[in-house]
Amino acid sequence: MTTTPDTAQATPPSIAEVAELIVTALNLDMTAAEIDPDAPLFDDGLGLDSIDILEIALVISKRYGIQLRADNEDNATIFRSLRNLTAYIVSQMPA
């Protein structure tokens, strides 16, 4: 089965949209607006772990048709913050 991006999502996502996606995917007990765009997603920031990141990667793949691979050497940078993650999604979307 091939996964295709949500056809309703033709425009690049905003930081707020990706934050909402994270909150919904992980059932976080906070609002999207409470996520600091520049705070780390791991450790002292949002406190996500590797399982959370896998879930986010799956949701992003389904929503935007972008593959986030576990062996990507840039993952530390991509998932450093909400701002970095959103920028990466935007950079990978077809023009």
Structural Rg of the chain based on CA atoms: 13
Return the pLDDT at 3: 46
Return the pLDDT at 94: 80
What does DSSP assign to residue 59? H
Q: What are the average pLDDT values for consecutive 10-residue runs of the chain, which has 95 residues?
A: 48 94 96 96 88 94 91 92 96 85
- Nearest-angstrom CA–CA distance, 3 and 66: 10
CB 91 within 8 Å of CB 48: no
- Nearest-angstrom CA–CA distance, 18 and 6: 14
Q: Which CATH class is domain 15-92?
A: mainly alpha
